[in-house]
Structure 1
């Protein structure tokens, strides 16, 4: 039962509450041992579907598709979470900035490839990925508050 309550049932990834607990542990580890962890924020922007429209099923399928892409493209020691309606997060250990940027490009390529089936690409949501590294003075509050800034930087 505990595993179910720690997961987002639509995405199959850990939920925001479990992610916050994992982030707190990563912050402690980074501060204590000097470990290097990147925190990635992903926003899949899409107009909310009409509940009476069949696109609700499309939105559910999209959530599953994105969650699968994230889970299939991280290492076992990394962590993927669904932290909001169209918001996801990744914790990636022991990568430098070049490796994180390469990971972001690889995720974007896989995300684009997942939508090649659509004839005109109109069903593809706009994906933005931003990141920060966990620093020695960071807290969950400071890192989560920098989410919008990190995603905004990625859109430029």
Structure 2
């Protein structure tokens, strides 16, 4: 068995292994996985066709059909994964023309180098498109490694395929048979197999990252309101307070509680109470800044950490939201449930731990409740000596 044949056998084994992994994710509802699985199956068919009849003049034309379909399927899988609109008609028409040209070359006895150039064109196009998607569409909040890996692999693969097409177009590739063991052909086949294997690994990494993102969201984000859960909020608040301490910037904490929430549940039912929580969270999320931290501490109690913000400024923002919400119905007017909230605001002083900051904001909240509810109260500024004690 020639060296290129051994390399193609390695690629075939990789396709089977990757298909097994992607098949296990069939019901995970990760966009693109089914297209990726189809691409691995089609690529395995193409490689199998080459290995089954290596000396047949029609082996390459027959293998080109599943190979081209595999390359388009993997690209469509990436488009689905990143939520990009597919380009079916144009790409399918171009692929059909390319396949027809390759088959004609074999039938008419045209130079085999032309087949290599034609196949290299679509290979370069697909890899450039995949690299561009991985580079431009990476979610800013996700680790960059998997997306960077796909970008590097796709870009390197495009360079290899472009170099192969140019070499054979200029007549430097020798015998254009994929299984012919010339040094240049072996090098190109080895690099192509490595590129495809790494790209297969990349799609598995992206699928894993999407599943990890879902699990992280389930563990950190409240499913009803979309606010951070208590543990996630406190963890991130501790980190931000630590950065604020090093930078010497003011941070304010707001603790908010819906007024008479138990009465809403008792009079209108828990569905109305949930609707009130959802509406409140939507108003808060839409009214605070993107860099503010919004979390649900439990029940009807929420918290907002406002970085680089003095207490008076944070209180003005929250009071504006309170005024806009006061008397409004949950979910606009559906159900007619009207509610208000009270809030306590405390500004962190140097050396103050988060627990003490929360205690002062909570005390300010109780003061707002005692004063009649539906108001925002700012805690007295703590003294450094009090914090140290």
- Specify the TM-score bucket, using the shorter chain as the normaliser: 0.7 to 0.9
2:249 corresponding residue in structure 1 = 35
1:47 corresponding residue in structure 2 = 262
Cα deviations by residue, 1:2-42 (Å, 9 ceiling, x for unpaired): 11210111111111000111111122112111011110000
2:351 corresponding residue in structure 1 = 137
How many angstroms does 1:54 deviate by? 6.0
2:284 corresponding residue in structure 1 = 70
1:154 corresponding residue in structure 2 = 368
**Structure 1 unmatched runs, 5+:** none
Q: Distance in 2 between matches of 1:74 and 1:148?
A: 20
Alignment partner for residue 128 of structure 1, among 337, 342, 346? 342
1:10 corresponding residue in structure 2 = 224
TM-score where L is the length of structure 1: 0.85
Q: Which has the higher strand share?
A: 1
Q: Distance in 1 between matches of 2:366 and 2:249?
A: 26
Cα deviations by residue, 1:86-130 (Å, 9 ceiling, x for unpaired): 1000011222343222212211122125338489x8x33341111
C-alpha change, 1:85 and 1:91, in structure 2 (3 Å) is same
Q: Distance in 2 between matches of 1:149 and 1:6?
A: 26
Structure number with the bigger relative contact order (C-alpha 8 A, sep ≥ 6) is: 1
Does the CA-based 8 Å contact 2:311-2:345 persist in structure 1? no
C-alpha change, 1:148 and 1:95, in structure 2 (3 Å) is closer
Query: Highest CA radius of gyration, 1 or 2?
Result: 2
The CA RMSD over aligned residues, in Å, is 2.3
TM-score where L is the length of structure 2: 0.36
Secondary structure of the equivalent of 1:66? helix
Does the CA-based 8 Å contact 2:326-2:339 persist in structure 1? no
Q: Distance in 2 between matches of 1:67 and 1:30?
A: 26
Secondary structure of the equivalent of 2:298? coil
Q: Distance in 2 between matches of 1:154 and 1:138?
A: 23
Q: How many residues align?
A: 152
**Structure 2 unmatched runs, 5+:** 1-214, 372-389
